[in-house]
Chain A
């Protein structure tokens, strides 16, 4: 409860505001404007229930937040404009989380995980990325629907009808697709209630790509929960997908939907690591936290290779579309790819995802944005704030399409 004197424009009502005569003045969720305040004074309301805002944070809390967020930027060039911009965005997001009651994790929470009972299938130095991926693909077969979608995707003459039929045979896939095309990811004004409508509106190629990506993800439904928090993993993946799409949308000539899929799958190599090298993967996570280095660096120290070394043979074995594969495989080193623009977008999106996750208990420092990759991407630092705002409006709805 706040006294009338403490209210300022911009605060949001946390419950319905009822006058003394029982009349509803404003509904919960109303953002107070100056005219509301004047009205409240006139009708004699003295106390109002408003949502906690960052204005309630103490100086000490603000200092703690700054220190906390700064730790996630230790690995990046502190003079690089986009890094500075992400730092400020992360500060504000974290302040909001704290104002809403989130407690900053302490040092022990940030370090602790127990990895004691896991058994790796390969000894370090014994399994190369190729052998690891081979072992996986011999063991478990890839969903049949995936290959059927791939077929139509490659067949220029395939009709929109055909793709709609194939997708409709898998009910859960169809349901996810429909949720997604109705989400802000596409932003169609009307509700789309069938796969054939979706194909007609989104386009056969687009929708097949989306279906392909989602059926690939389904393959990984059985990663044990105690090993890694899969909710966090998918949230990171989807966040990266959203950012990749929004970033691509700022440039002309890039088909944004492909970027969503590449972002969604950018860490797919990690899923194989979790399956085949559970102990080493968790050790890498610990090593990253202990040394304030990005996960990708820690993987290289612990396993002698990183998740993009795994995604390369993996996606090749799935015969995943090459353009998408390259975006995924080069998202940590886009400039090493001859045509670096597309992987550069995923690279930046991944950094943005890491930055916004700080306010949600993310654990890893930003890997840093490559300066050249930033240059060629055409993205400007002042665009980042707007992109984060859009992401905030989209994430929850898109996340719910996947659960």
Chain B
């Protein structure tokens, strides 16, 4: 059979990265973001960065690493680098079983506690919020739990992500079908309105959420965040190595008020990472409590 594709068509489309260059780039990414890239992903990186190198007119990865480290544009390039190394997969009501268990147990407990103490306020931190689906989902859960009473509460959901582009998108609050792949229809109908570009989150829901670009590797900035009752950090630490996991989980611990909870993604666990939290088992999730 004849072929449409010339036999000279090459599989390689990018500049070659040497092992040394890969290690330099990998270490740089790790130092800046805590994201750890295994050498097995060398070729993946080669092709992911090749477009960027071409745009910058850089002939080799060594030049790109120099650019990242010393160029006057290096701060801006860092954002681009973050875009290239992060995965932003997310959706509204992702992991419904966990969210149900969270709402029925953790959230209920905190709401009751605050009511009893006469302090109608709640701080939640969504760390690694991607394009905003997770913190908006939390705001929706609060609307569902508190209903009319919500007006009397002071609720603050702080949502941060490494990627400035994701934070911009989150602030716009307009979503396509993909964002709703795990979302019950009635939730979508009640909390979103049809918009030219898709579905827009309603202002009442958006109002509770504050977005900030922030690096979880930057312990100093994290210290400046308000103390939280609940931290959500789902499907983020899976990209970190153990040292970075410990560091970030340590920051969450410091940020949480006594009795506060940390919620991780379905496949993440503090097993081997931290024993300071007390794991509380609910069907569908583990809530990690800071005792006290």
**Contacts of B13 on A, CB cut-off 8 Å?**
70, 78
Of A83-91, A154-162, A254-262, A320-328, the one contacting chain B is A83-91
CA distance A293 to B284 in the complex (A): 27
Judged by a CB distance under 8 angstroms, whether A400 is at the interface is no
Chain A 43-79, CB-CB to B under 8 Å as 1, else 0, gives: 0000000000011010000100010001001111111
Contact A116–B4 (Cβ < 8 Å):
no
* Nearest Cβ on chain A to B234's Cβ, whole angstroms: 11
Note all chain A residues with C-beta closer than 8 A to B12.
Answer: 78-79
Q: Once the chains bind, are B1 and A280 in contact (CB under 8 Å)?
A: no
In the bound complex, CA of A66 to CA of B13 (Å) = 12
Q: Which 4 A-B pairs have the closest CB atoms?
A: A125-B271, A78-B12, A78-B11, A125-B269
Say yes or no for B286: interface residue by CB 8 A criterion: yes
The residue in chain A whose Cβ has the minimal distance to the Cβ of B42 is: A77
A interface bracket (residues with beta carbon within 8 Å of B): 35 or more
Binds A, one of B19-27, B89-97, B133-141: B89-97
Q: A108-B178, A124-B267, A124-B269 are in contact. Are A62 and B5 (CB under 8 A)?
A: yes
**Once the chains bind, are B43 and A283 in contact (CB under 8 Å)?**
no
A-B contact pairs, 11 of them (CB 8 A): A74-B44, A79-B11, A79-B12, A108-B178, A114-B181, A116-B95, A123-B286, A124-B266, A286-B89, A293-B44, A302-B238
Judged by a CB distance under 8 angstroms, whether A30 is at the interface is no
Determine chain A's interface SS by DSSP, over half rule: helix
List the A side residues contacting B178 at CB < 8 Å. Answer: 108, 111-112
* Chain B residues within 8 Å of A10, by CB: 1-2
Docked-complex contact B266 and A279, CB < 8 angstroms: yes
With an 8 A cutoff between CB atoms, is A301 at the interface? yes
Chain B interface residue bracket vs A: 35 or more
Residue from the list B3, B11, B89, B181 in contact with A73, Cβ < 8 A: B11
CB–CB B5/A302 < 8 A? no
CB distance from B131 to the nearest CB of A (A): 14
**A394, chain B: closest CB distance, angstroms:** 17
Tell whether, in the assembled complex, residue B41 and residue A92 are in contact, meaning their CB atoms are under 8 Å apart. no
With both beta carbons as reference points, the residue of chain A lying nearest to B2 in the complex is identified as A10
Q: Known A92-B1, A293-B41; judge A84-B10 contact (CB<8 A).
A: yes
A57/B4 contact (C-beta < 8 A), A111-B89, A116-B95, A116-B97 known: yes
Q: Mark B87-125, 1 if CB is under 8 A from A, else 0.
A: 101000001110000000000000000000000000000
